[in-house]
A and B are shown apart, each in its own frame.
Chain A
Amino acid sequence: MIRPIALVMPALSVATLFVAAHGLASAASQPATLDLRAANEPLSALIMRIAHQCHASLAIDSALQNALFQPVTISDEQATANAAWKDALTLLANDQHVSLALLGDQLVVMDANDEFRKRLVRRTYDIRVPTREIVQVPGPRLDLPVPGDRIWDSLEPLGYENHLEAGGLVDDLKHAVRPSTWERAGVDILLDEQEHFLTITTLPEIHDEVLAYLKLQEHRAARQVVCRIHRLPDGLAPQPPTISADAWRKLADGGGAPIATFVMLDAQQNHHFCGTQSTVTADGDIIQGIYDPIVSVVSQGLSVDVEPVVTCDGVIATIGFNGAAGLTWDPTVISNDAGKPKLTIRTPRTQLDLSRDSRLIPTDGAALVRFAERTYALTFEVVNLPEAKVESKPIK
């Protein structure tokens, strides 16, 4: 065994190993390829041959002092007989844990792990945007309230979750970006307790890849849908529930501006409500012989609740349509036997247009909702951040 001898006379052995570095007259240069073949010989011999190919002298990290005597075998393949400079450096760093750099006339040989650690940089990333929760905002109903009963407002949240959690983001990041590096000594990834910030310690070039990955996640999370509602002319001929982009262009031609425009995220339930609200005395109780009025709030207008899901074929939207119009009042007066009014109750009457269903609306097409002579069109424009990458291919 070589090693025990080296330990007894380390200086002499190391000096002997590098004696061939003397007498090089040419200036050092980086060759295009390197011959890395080694057949069970000391690492130092391989390094010396590389130095010779570079016409360079050697400067060797003291941390490699013992490693120089370790036997090395690199198979006799074309890839290693004429390895490109960059590939050769990568192979030596990964397999032999040595880092080479040509510095003037010196071939500097360092411990690859130490060199790796020296290059580590720590940066903090704000990840709230790609991991923000989706808040469902269901819309109200416009049904006439029963006086005295508490009729509440919102439709049920559909509850479809499309939320990337911070912990999941960290796991995905480790798989997607240089997975082999995250276990190396010194490399670290920390998520703060509030899950707002990622503090990552890694190489600068890997930070660039991390940033690109986080931007991609933000682009994915930022997919949103602008919904526009149009009121089409009364008396329109019956139409299918969804129409294509061409059919919609023809139908909408000259139709005017939408009556509502609102925005929501992909898979977020949101709504548009705009209308009038009035309070009325809708009923009366008798308390201690006195009429006690019961007040109700009556709303009319347009309440449209939508949850869109963007797909390759268009937008699948669950639409809850509530339209209340034509509100009239029928007063009822309660009088005493002398004809003196005691209480005036107004009983409202309103026309309700209600529907709730799910439809696949083709890209740039429209969903049509019809009630008697009234027809409404809903369009869904998918909005991505600029330069967002398409992450899925069409099935067709």
Chain B
Amino acid sequence: MPSNLHRALLPGILLASACPLAHALDTSARPPAYLDELILVDWQGKLLANALDELTVLIRKPVIRSTAVTALDQRTVTLGYQHTVPLREVLTLLERTQHLHVTVEEFSLQIETDEDHLLSSRRVVEINLRDYGAAFPLRDLEAEKPATLPAILEHPSGGIVCFANEHQPAERSGTETFTNYLNSLTSYGFELRDGHVAVMTVSPAEEAQIRAELLSMYHITVRHTDWRVTFGTIAADAAPAGGIVTRAAADALAARLTDAHALVLTSMNGQQVRVANRTDRAYVADVDIVAGHLDPAIALVSLGQSADLRAVTGFDSTWVHFNLWWTIPLPDGPGTELHAAGALVPLDDATVTLTKDEKGPVTATVTTPAPQTTSTGDALVLAHPSVWTWGPQGECHLPPGSAMVFLAEHPAGRAVIILEETTP
């Protein structure tokens, strides 16, 4: 090839490869050499049929046309060059401007319409939606809540209910999300078999696009966040101001805490998860009177720490809904009362004696048996635990690399809870 002609062609070649719409011709693994042969075409409003006839002569190969292409008898081609160019370039532009598909074979060219090619390339495929998480509808993982003092009492009065206004668990659907998505692809009919296998007729390119989009949705669903919630105390004069801080500052604070305990959680995107490190204590909290006997009522109180989180990954932050809880027994509370309950003498066991002297009024004398001692009745000890408790709850948005530090008063100075995302 003359050097000056090569230099003239170079910009065209570079622009063609840089064009985002340039695409490779449909060839076998080894493209035939004649694709690089130089030809000169100058079709100015030429009938497509005539242009293809001319091409046949130029490349000395048969150009086989589909029925639909043959039927385009009124179609004209405007495609002209000022100099010779490789056949590859002509065919590429011909495909683009005439909406044709060219299949380059060793000894011939096959030309069909884009629509023909799409229809012929479609075949039945099965997409197992389980591969994209359809069998895993994201469920909130409920667990037993820590028992607070007023729990399980017949006539509870006062007290604080922790975990009030808890976030309602989101309704999740598995396959439905994906079938709704597939339904939105109105150009493909599909059938759902066995509850999770989508059967549809698509081309390889269409299948690849659908799988890529299902994968994208799947990745959003299973995107996970990892969390660490650290509980500890610190002297009042050494306590920080708290708030949203960097993770480095949070980790430095955690290293200074006394009796630090860390709870670690991991959650899928938007899933409610819970972790607890606690001791549940049952105690006799109340008593009912049943047929003259003492019927104890048992209550539970939980001691320790727990964390309940729901996190959703946003574009520039992680939104987290949290319920944190920390309860410790107080060594110097009001104390445990001993309450011995005994039976009172029933009134119908008393005797009434009426006496009357000759001239005086009638006198009624009530005589009751000797009072029964408590040893003859039921005895019961009611426990009255005292606890220190703290339960931050709410929502916050944490930018990447940040943590939330909560503070409260504590017998040892300040109680500190550090909530940080540790997702790598």
Contacts of A188 on B, CB cut-off 8 Å? 184
Q: How far is B422's CA from A18's CA once the two chains are assembled, in angstroms? A: 67
Indicate if the CB atoms of A11 and B42 lie closer than 8 Å: no
- Find B312's partner among A12, A128, A257 (CB 8 Å cutoff): A128
Indicate if the CB atoms of B165 and A124 lie closer than 8 Å: no
Q: How far is B43's CA from A11's CA once the two chains are assembled, in angstroms? A: 11
What sequence of 0s and 1s flags, for each residue 119-133 of chain A, a beta carbon within 8 Å of any chain B beta carbon? 000111010111010
Q: How far is B395's CA from A59's CA once the two chains are assembled, in angstroms? A: 59
- Selecting from B60-68, B124-132, B213-221, B355-363, the interface stretch reads B213-221
Indicate if the CB atoms of A277 and B382 lie closer than 8 Å: no
- Selecting from A102-110, A238-246, A313-321, A367-375, the interface stretch reads A102-110
CB distance from A323 to the nearest CB of B (A): 11
CB distance from B178 to the nearest CB of A (A): 10
- Find A27's partner among B8, B74, B213, B345 (CB 8 Å cutoff): B8
- Find B13's partner among A104, A108, A302 (CB 8 Å cutoff): A104
Contacts of A138 on B, CB cut-off 8 Å? 164-165
- Find B394's partner among A261, A263, A276, A279 (CB 8 Å cutoff): A263
Q: Taking A11-B46, A129-B317, A194-B171 as contacts, is the C-beta distance between A110 and B97 under 8 angstroms?
A: yes
Within 8 A of B (CB), among A358-387: 381, 383, 385-387
State whether the Cβ of B110 lies closer than 8 Å to any Cβ in chain A. no
State whether the Cβ of A93 lies closer than 8 Å to any Cβ in chain B. no
State whether the Cβ of B351 lies closer than 8 Å to any Cβ in chain A. no
Please count how many residues in chain B sit with their CB below 8 Å of the partner chain's CB atoms: 128
Within 8 A of B (CB), among A297-330: 297-299, 301-302, 329
Q: Taking A103-B19, A104-B13, A104-B16 as contacts, is the C-beta distance between A278 and B333 under 8 angstroms?
A: yes
Indicate if the CB atoms of B373 and A340 lie closer than 8 Å: yes
Contacts of B415 on A, CB cut-off 8 Å? 274
Q: How far is B382's CA from A343's CA once the two chains are assembled, in angstroms? A: 11
State whether the Cβ of B344 lies closer than 8 Å to any Cβ in chain A. yes
Within 8 A of A (CB), among B43-66: 44-48
What sequence of 0s and 1s flags, for each residue 166-180 of chain B, a beta carbon within 8 Å of any chain A beta carbon? 010011010011001
Q: Taking A24-B82, A259-B408, A383-B243 as contacts, is the C-beta distance between A224 and B157 under 8 angstroms?
A: no
Residue of A nearest to B171 (CB): A194
Contacts of A147 on B, CB cut-off 8 Å? 157
CB distance from B60 to the nearest CB of A (A): 24
- Find A226's partner among B97, B243, B346 (CB 8 Å cutoff): B243
Q: Taking A272-B408, A344-B337 as contacts, is the C-beta distance between A16 and B289 under 8 angstroms?
A: no
- Find B286's partner among A18, A221, A222, A295 (CB 8 Å cutoff): A295
State whether the Cβ of B319 lies closer than 8 Å to any Cβ in chain A. yes
CB distance from B367 to the nearest CB of A (A): 14
CB distance from A340 to the nearest CB of B (A): 6
Indicate if the CB atoms of B286 and A135 lie closer than 8 Å: no
- Find A63's partner among B48, B99, B236, B342 (CB 8 Å cutoff): B99
Contacts of B347 on A, CB cut-off 8 Å? 289
Q: How far is B30's CA from A357's CA once the two chains are assembled, in angstroms? A: 82
Q: How far is B354's CA from A331's CA once the two chains are assembled, in angstroms? A: 41
CB distance from A376 to the nearest CB of B (A): 12
CB distance from A380 to the nearest CB of B (A): 11
State whether the Cβ of B339 lies closer than 8 Å to any Cβ in chain A. yes
CB distance from B311 to the nearest CB of A (A): 10
- Selecting from B199-207, B255-263, B396-404, the interface stretch reads B396-404
State whether the Cβ of B197 lies closer than 8 Å to any Cβ in chain A. no
Residue of A nearest to B368 (CB): A337
Contacts of A194 on B, CB cut-off 8 Å? 170-171, 173, 177
Indicate if the CB atoms of B393 and A270 lie closer than 8 Å: yes
Indicate if the CB atoms of B390 and A228 lie closer than 8 Å: no
Indicate if the CB atoms of A144 and B409 lie closer than 8 Å: no
Indicate if the CB atoms of A278 and B97 lie closer than 8 Å: no
Contacts of B188 on A, CB cut-off 8 Å? none
Indicate if the CB atoms of B394 and A385 lie closer than 8 Å: no
State whether the Cβ of A247 lies closer than 8 Å to any Cβ in chain B. no
State whether the Cβ of B239 lies closer than 8 Å to any Cβ in chain A. yes
Q: Taking A194-B177, A273-B160, A274-B389 as contacts, is the C-beta distance between A297 and B150 under 8 angstroms?
A: yes
Contacts of A170 on B, CB cut-off 8 Å? none
State whether the Cβ of B75 lies closer than 8 Å to any Cβ in chain A. yes
Within 8 A of B (CB), among A221-276: 221-222, 224, 226, 228, 256-265, 268, 270, 272-276
Given contacts A14-B76, A102-B15, A270-B393, 16 further A-B pairs with CB under 8 A are A14-B44, A104-B9, A104-B11, A108-B93, A110-B96, A152-B161, A154-B165, A265-B397, A276-B387, A280-B337, A281-B339, A287-B288, A296-B157, A298-B158, A338-B373, A385-B397
Binding site for A on B (CB under 8 A): 8-9, 11-13, 15-16, 19, 21, 42, 44-48, 74-83, 85, 89, 93, 96-99, 148-150, 153, 155-161, 164-165, 167, 170-171, 173, 176-177, 180-181, 184, 209, 213, 216-217, 220, 236-244, 269-270, 285-289, 291-292, 294, 312-317, 319, 321, 330, 333-334, 337, 339-347, 371, 373-374, 377, 382, 384-397, 399, 404-410, 414-415
